[in-house]
Amino acid sequence: MEKRGLEPKDCELIETARAAIAPCYDGETFRHTVGCALRCAGGKIYRGVNVYSLHGSCAEPVAIGAAVMDGARGFDCIVAVHGGDGRIMPPCGNCRQILSDYMPGCWVIVGGEDGPFKVRARDLIPFAYEAEY
């Protein structure tokens, strides 16, 4: 697994994710608790927040959907943060599979004992299911 340190533009991406969830964070009903920011190869950033319900959506697929609807391709880096305290959150198992399927080469910012770093989406889920399309 290749790990890389963060660049200034990655720190800006984290702040963009925090700004995405800040105005809609709902810690009482948990409807919106996670914010996400996705940077495309051209530098444009798309944001998303989770939509909590029995079959809700995580923030990462919401951001990916926003980018795709805008015609974006070539995903560079993605990060999710908790709305309550702003900490970086690793993708859940379902999101790891989505990221691995949809954009395996994309960098994913995760937290670590020595601070945040980034890894490739494909490295987040060993022995990932690979669908035949």
**What is the set of active-site residues?**
60
Q: In this predicted model, what pLDDT tens digit does every residue of 39-59 receive, in sequence order? A: 999 999 999 999 987 788 999
Q: In this predicted model, what pLDDT tens digit does every residue of 7-46 receive, in sequence order? A: 999 999 999 999 999 998 877 777 788 999 999 999 999 9
How confident is the model over 115-133, as a mean pLDDT? 85
d(CA 13, CA 36): 9
Instruction: Name the band, by pLDDT with cuts 50, 70 and 90, for residue 1.
Output: confident
Lowest mean pLDDT among 10-24, 74-88, 116-130: 116-130
Q: Which two structure tokens, joined as six digits, stand for 98?
A: 């989505």
Q: CA 36 → CA 99, 112, 133, distances in Å?
A: 13, 18, 28
Which structural domains are found in the chain, ordered by start? 3-111 (3.40.140.10)
Exposure string of 69-103, with b = 16+ CB inside 10 Å and e = fewer, is eeebeebbbbbbbbbeebebbbbeeebbbbbbbeb
81 by DSSP, 3-state: which?
A: strand
Percent of the chain with pLDDT over 90: 74
